[in-house]
Amino acid sequence: MTHVLDPGTLAAGTRPGPGPGTAFDDVTRSDAALRAFLHGLPGVDQVGAEQRAATLGTRSIKTTAKAWAIDTAISMVDLTTLEGADTPGRVRSLAAKARRPDPADPTAPAVAAVCVYGDLAGVAREALAGTGIRVAAVATAFPSGRASREVKLADVRDAVGNGADEIDMVIDRGAFLSGRYLEVFEEIVAVKEACGGAHLKVILETGELVTYDNARRASWLAMLAGADFVKTSTGKISPAATLPVCLVMLEAVRDFRAATGRQVGVKPAGGIRTTKDAVKHLVLVNETVGADWLSPDWFRLGASSLLNDLLLQRQKLRTGHYSGPDHVSVD
Amino acid sequence: MANPFEYAPAPESRSIVDVAPSYGLFVDGEFVDGSGETLKTVNPATEEVLSEVAVGTEADVDRAVRAARRAYTRVWGPMRPADRGKYLFRIARILQERAREFAVLESLDNGKPIRESRDVDVPLAAAHFFHHAGWADKLAYAGLGPDPRPHGVAGQVIPWNFPLLMLAWKVAPALATGNTVVLKPAETTPLTALLFAQVCQQADLPPGVVNVVTGAGETGRAVVEHADVDKVAFTGSTEVGRSIARAVAGTRKVLTLELGGKAANIVFDDAPVDQAVEGIVRGIFFNQGHVCCAGSRLLVQESVHDEVIASLQRRIGTLRVGDPLDKNTDIGAINSHQQLERIRELVGIGEAEGAQRWQPACDLPDRGYWFPPTVFTDVSPAHRIARDEVFGPVLSVLTFRTPDEAVAKANNTTYGLSAGVWTEKGSRILAIADRLRAGVVWANTFNQFDPTSPFGGYKQSGYGREGGRQGLAAYLKGASH
């Protein structure tokens, strides 16, 4: 049988980061210092990163491993609705599905969170009371992030006030792309403060940052500013989550923990629609950062239609045959 | 904490392959009994005997060469080049259709992981036939003269590390240029060549155009020394290559040799570290390090040495070693007991000379031939593990301080087959590549092969090129590249 040579190695995290443990305060003292730091991070070779992600995508996950992966993926889903047409009714219906994804099978795990716009966080809060399922709300003028800082902070405070446990903010991509890194940093710090006790997920919108170098720099920027999670995308821009971009972000959180001791989560969101995609992401986590990240506390999948495919595959694994779309609930 | 995500076994089924209990020789379009002994070929992952194959004698080789000569004179030589191309296209398509069969058989006989035989060896072998099929009727436009002519009968001896792929590298250009072939596969890995012989039958290739004579060193010698062979092509050890060069010297035979290597993989301090680590792993652990162009010497800039080695060790710890037929295996079995002994010997010498050996915590199967991935640090250019080709999963790490020192150390070898450069600075890639004496230089990647790209070495890595336009020259009279 095939076995990993040394399963403990990923946890070791021995790689020294680009600075001493707590001295990162220094790199955010000025725009120039922050720029020098971010541009001093090792580059990402696009061809190599894509090749590595593709190779990991060929892992063959079968039987017991597949069953574990499907249940774990379900428990990592941030079940999301972010439409202009969202209503309290729709959010309640989504909450019901989050609590019990497969009405016919109580052994199917609940999802990690329900993700909505801030004004509906209260509805979600109420519908999920007592379940342990978290309420995530997008804020900071999601998805474009084009509003003044005061408006963004008010957006955050409103969502937290409505009962959100987690805030999914967007970074100012315009500022990032024009090199005003300190501005982006300070905004994340301010949002983190406005979050109070709520967890902060920072959406990089990698589809607009375009390069993997930018994805790595933005990840570090967000982590330095206090992000609890780094998240790929809003889901409103294509491409959204891809395997290579997730790989680069996982490498960033791995290196950040090695350098600072603080663990940050990763959330690919948008474009993950099939069980196969979800399993590939779990393989990526497993072989890049290891078992420490293989839980909903540290890895989430932002998705909506994915859940039904996971449930169909779960039924298939249990019964030996495919059922069909009428055997899972419509969202 | 135990990893909850333990991959369940995902073995590729071997039922797709029909391994006969014994095989004869493929001569003049038919399988015939050999006139000598037989040898057993084993699965190196289990030591299970897979089959018995004939050991070709001088008489057998003579029959094969005469068949090849006949086919050359009567059929293959006079045939319209476009028709030769049709046969090659047909072979390429059959290789694709039967890809799974070839991949499983290759992994069984060689010990390499199915992921590599499936994703690298077999697709590349088919690609070589497709590439050369296209050349068959365009040779006059290859820049090798207005009417380049074939040599006649090519005697080809290939190694055990990429049995089918090396066959393709040899057979495809030979046939495309109008030569006929007597091929001697390696003693430990004859099975995919014999399956290829069946493909030749399936493609209705005229009898005698391809002949496969199995056996060991003596059979190879008979092929090389046969008086009616016009062209000799060999891939294998420098030691055997030398004896072949001696045997061919003074005859009218044309010779190409693709021999050993001790490639330097140079990592500068501005390299993309994560991808460089992948490239180092791919460079030395691909195919268990049984690769003549393996990046067996890591030259890393001193300022990033500790960071790169720590990343490399963490990555090596995630490699999956075991059953070659499991689709999740990264590193398979060492091809033979003999090779395993050689690796052990050189690793022992490395330790005795004072280099630091590192291996991940390791649990290898009880049966079969296995060696864990191994990294030596504190290696000096004077150490034997920095000079001798190990041909196994053993990496020697050396350091440098300046680009000049990197180039000097990289070139300080009797070989010159391949090298790698890792840096984000494009101008440095060009400047360094220009100064490296190696047939292939990879930039920010390693062990990438393509039929359009010529492959071959300097110095004791041999001479002649395979692949590309240059590779055609090796099989055409008077063509120089």
Q: What CATH number is given to the structural domain containing A81?
A: 3.20.20.70
Catalytic site positions of A = 168, 231, 267
Residues B50-83: pLDDT tens digits? 999 999 999 999 999 999 999 999 999 999 999 9
Residue B5 in domain: no
User: For residue B337, how many other CB atoms are within 10 A of its CB?
Assistant: 14
User: For residue A99, how many other CB atoms are within 10 A of its CB?
Assistant: 16
Average pLDDT over residues B220-238: 97
Give start and end residues of each alpha helix (H) in B117-204. Answer: 122-135, 163-176, 191-202
Residues of A in contact with B328 (CB under 8 A): 2, 59-60
Q: Does B479 have pLDDT greater than 90?
A: no
Residue B210 in domain: yes
Q: In whole angstroms, what is the distance from residue B262 CA to residue B410 CA?
A: 9
Residue B98 in domain: yes
Chain B CB within 8 Å of residue A296 CB: no
Structure tokens belonging to residue A19: 């600075």
- How many separate helices (H) and strands (E) can be counted in chain A? 14, 9
Query: How many structural domains does chain A have?
Result: 1
Q: In whole angstroms, what is the distance from residue B470 CA to residue B148 CA?
A: 13
Structural domain containing residue A263: 23-318
B258 is catalytic: yes
**B190 within 8 A of B214, measured Cβ to Cβ:** yes
Residue A324 in domain: no
Q: In whole angstroms, what is the distance from residue B156 CA to residue B180 CA?
A: 10
User: For residue B346, how many other CB atoms are within 10 A of its CB?
Assistant: 18
**B301: β partners:** B400
B341 and B304 in a common domain: yes
B249 and B325 in a common domain: no
Q: Does A180 have pLDDT greater than 50?
A: yes
Q: In whole angstroms, what is the distance from residue B144 CA to residue B133 CA?
A: 17
Task: Tell me whether residues A5 and B321 touch, CB distance under 8 A.
Answer: yes
Handedness of CA B130, B131, B133, B134 (dihedral sign): positive
B270 and B246 in a common domain: no
pLDDT of residue B481: 46
Q: Does A3 have pLDDT greater than 80?
A: no
B291 and B187 in a common domain: no
Amino acid at A31: D
B229 and B339 in a common domain: no
Q: In whole angstroms, what is the distance from residue B10 CA to residue A62 CA?
A: 7
Radius of gyration of chain B (CA): 22
CATH number of the CATH domain containing B155: 3.40.605.10
pLDDT band at B155 (very low <50, low <70, confident <90, very high): very high
Structure tokens belonging to residue B239: 């030691």
Chain B CB within 8 Å of residue A17 CB: no
Residue A7 in domain: no
> What's phi and psi for A160, nearest 5 deg?
-65, -40
B304 and B184 in a common domain: no
Residues 6+ apart with CB under 8 A from B74: none
From the list B5, B278, B329, the residue facing A68 with the nearest CB is B5
Residue A331 in domain: no
The residue of chain A with its CA nearest to that of B366 is A1
Q: In whole angstroms, what is the distance from residue A131 CA to residue A55 CA?
A: 38
Residue B3 in domain: no
Q: In whole angstroms, what is the distance from residue B220 CA to residue B183 CA?
A: 9
Residue A105 in domain: yes
**B372 within 8 A of B344, measured Cβ to Cβ:** no
B217 and B317 in a common domain: no
Residue B450 in domain: no
Task: Tell me whether residues A15 and B307 touch, CB distance under 8 A.
Answer: yes
Q: What is the dihedral of CA B120, B191, B181, B460, to 10 degrees?
A: 60
Q: In whole angstroms, what is the distance from residue A184 CA to residue A171 CA?
A: 7
Structure tokens belonging to residue B292: 């003549």
Total residue length of chain B: 481
> What's phi and psi for B320, nearest 5 deg?
-105, 115
Chain B CB within 8 Å of residue A22 CB: no
B39 and B59 in a common domain: yes
DSSP A11-64: HH-----SS-TTGGGGGGSSHHHHHHHHHHSPP--HHHHHHHHHHHTT----HH
Residue A6 in domain: no
- From the candidates B258, B278, B341, B353, which is the catalytic residue? B258
**B25 within 8 A of B59, measured Cβ to Cβ:** no
Residues B311-355: pLDDT tens digits? 999 999 999 999 999 999 999 999 999 999 999 999 999 999 999
From the list A12, A62, A64, the residue facing B314 with the nearest CB is A12
B206 and B273 in a common domain: no
User: For residue B150, how many other CB atoms are within 10 A of its CB?
Assistant: 22
Task: Tell me whether residues A47 and B361 touch, CB distance under 8 A.
Answer: no
B203 and B305 in a common domain: no
pLDDT of residue A10: 53
Average pLDDT over residues B154-170: 98
pLDDT of residue A8: 54
Task: Tell me whether residues B321 and A2 touch, CB distance under 8 A.
Answer: yes
**B86 within 8 A of B55, measured Cβ to Cβ:** no
Task: Tell me whether residues A61 and B361 touch, CB distance under 8 A.
Answer: no
Residue A94 in domain: yes
pLDDT band at B418 (very low <50, low <70, confident <90, very high): very high
Residue A146 in domain: yes
Task: Tell me whether residues B7 and A61 touch, CB distance under 8 A.
Answer: yes
B268 and B249 in a common domain: no
Chain B CB within 8 Å of residue A54 CB: no
Structure tokens belonging to residue B467: 């692949």
**A115 within 8 A of A331, measured Cβ to Cβ:** no
pLDDT of residue A331: 78
pLDDT of residue B480: 55
Query: How many structural domains does chain B have?
Result: 2
Residue B470 in domain: yes
User: Mean of the per-residue pLDDT values for chain B?
Assistant: 97
pTM of the model: 0.94
CA atoms within 13 A on the CB side of B185: 33
Q: In whole angstroms, what is the distance from residue B93 CA to residue B75 CA?
A: 22
CATH number of the CATH domain containing B321: 3.40.309.10
Structural domain containing residue B192: 14-259+461-477
B239 and B97 in a common domain: yes
Average pLDDT over residues A181-190: 98
Residue A69 in domain: yes
Amino acid at B171: V
Closest by CA to A66, choosing from A289, A284, A276, A241, is A276
